[in-house]
Structure 1
Amino acid sequence: MIFLLCVVLGFAMTGGTWLATNDGVSVFVAFLVWIAAIWVLFMVLSVIAKRQVDYLVDATEEAVVQAVRGSFGALWRETSGPGTLNFRSRGPGVGIRSPGKQPVMSITIETTPDAVEVSEWMSTWFSQNGMVLAIDRFAFQRLRVRRSLAGISPISEPSASF
């Protein structure tokens, strides 16, 4: 989804440059700026995705597990890993050329005296030129997990740790 948006914006930018200047050099420079902007965007998303995010949810552990599992659709499959729940994405994503290169999202769910603590992080990933492959899929899934947890109970603001 993020990649598709970048492609559409890139075509609009280079096409707009062509219409405004009718100069091939300007279009080429605009294209290079667009490529650099996409690379920077995915580098930033890669850094953000590698950070662990912690939530405190005021619900039962069973409800949290059901909400988290329910947020993963057919494009994610459960796999082994260091978390209570571990999911690997399926299918294409940004930079994916062969199966088995998709990132794994690991989620640990622990009951504390005050609430249920949910920790979410990327436990396995492959990178190319510093960019995590299929980062678009991972970023959107992180938002889905947050929304599903917020749907069962108010959650604390996530705190990121390195």
Structure 2
Amino acid sequence: MALFSIYAKWKVGAFTAFSISEKYGWQREFTNPLPVLINYIQHPQVVGPYNWDFYSLNLIMICAFFPLLIPIFRKLPGTYGILTLVFLVIPLTSGRLTSIPRYYLVVFPVYMILAWWSCRGSQQQQERKHTFIVASFAILLSLGMVMFTLGVYSLA
């Protein structure tokens, strides 16, 4: 990090060039995630052809991943729970909730707990859970592929 800061000072004249570009270029800065989330819920964004923020998908991902913290902390070692909590909270501290699905895809303890959950119960229940998980991810994959093919890079 120190080397990058020195390089930024040498190239553009500021040690914190990345933070400056995030603040003024992307309108993102370190903030408390709770007011951001409350504001996001209270003031939904209208869907439009020029709105690159998938409001409903971002909100669904937040509502789906945060409850999984409970079984992660209960069934997996504590370091996985802390890692998951950090991975879920850090994108919320940027002040904007765009691209939440992209940031949450790397939270691998969620997939570990989904695998544990799908192996519980009778053989018929396991098959139903497996089908539900595979169908959900297949739908998301097909949606992402269609959007990418059409040139709509809004999930990125």
**Could you say which structure has the higher helix fraction?**
2
**Could you say which structure has the higher strand fraction?**
1
Same fold (TM over 0.5): no
Tell me the TM-score normalized by structure 1: 0.27
Tell me the TM-score normalized by structure 2: 0.28
